[in-house]
Structure 1
Amino acid sequence: MQHIRALGKIGLPIVALILLGLTIWWGENYFLISIGIIASAILLILTRFENRKIEARELVLIAVLASIAAVGRIPFASLPSVQPTTFIIMISGLVFGAESGFIIGAVAALASNMILGQGPWTPWQMVAWGLVGFSAGLLGRTKFLKSTWGKIVFGVVWGFLFGWIMNVWGILSLSQYGNVIDMNAVLTYFAGSALFDFMHAVSNTVFFVLFGKKWIAVLSRFKRKYGLME
Structure 2
Amino acid sequence: MSGSFTVVCMYDYHSISLSSFEMLALNVLLLSLIMLALYKGESRLDSDSPWAMLSLLAVFGISSRILLDPLPNIQPVTMLVLVVGIYFGGWRAIALAGVIAWTSNAIALGHGPWTLFQALGWGAVGLLGASLSGFLREGDRLMVGRLAFVSAASAFLFDWTVSLSILLDASTSMIIPYLINGLAFDLYHAAGNVAFVAWMAAPLGDMILRHSEIPASEAVSEVAPN
- TM-score tier after normalising by the smaller chain length: 0.5 to 0.7
Match of 2:124 in 1: 131
Note the C-alpha offset of 1:59: 2.5
The answer as to whether partners of 1:100 and 1:134 remain within 8 angstroms in 2 is no
Q: Give 5+ residue unaligned stretches, structure 2.
A: 1-47, 216-226
- Compared with structure 1, are the counterparts of its residues 159 and 122 closer, same or farther at alpha carbon in structure 2 (3 Å cutoff)? same
Return the alpha-carbon distance in structure 2 between the equivalents of residues 139 and 77 of structure 1: 29
Q: What is the number of equivalent residue pairs in this alignment?
A: 165
Match of 1:174 in 2: 169
Larger radius of gyration: 2
TM-score by length of 2: 0.66
Match of 1:140 in 2: 133
The answer as to whether partners of 1:159 and 1:200 remain within 8 angstroms in 2 is yes
The answer as to whether partners of 2:144 and 2:197 remain within 8 angstroms in 1 is no
1:204 aligns with 2:197: no
1:101 aligns with 2:93: yes
Specify which structure has the bigger relative contact order, considering alpha-carbon pairs within 8 angstroms and separated by 6 or more residues: 2
Aligned partner letter, 2:63: V
Return the alpha-carbon distance in structure 1 between the equivalents of residues 137 and 208 of structure 2: 20
For 1:191, which of 180, 186, 191 is the aligned residue?
180
Aligned pairs for 1:1-230 (under 5 A) are 57-115=49-107, 116-142=109-135, 147-170=143-166, 172-175=167-170, 181-182=172-173, 185-223=174-212, 228-229=213-214
Return the alpha-carbon distance in structure 2 between the equivalents of residues 72 and 143 of structure 1: 24
Name segments (4+ residues, structure 1) moved above 6 Å.
none
Return the alpha-carbon distance in structure 2 between the equivalents of residues 107 and 143 of structure 1: 25
> How big is the alpha-carbon RMSD for the aligned residues of Structure 1 and Structure 2?
2.3
Note the C-alpha offset of 1:156: 0.6
Q: Give 5+ residue unaligned stretches, structure 1.
A: 1-55
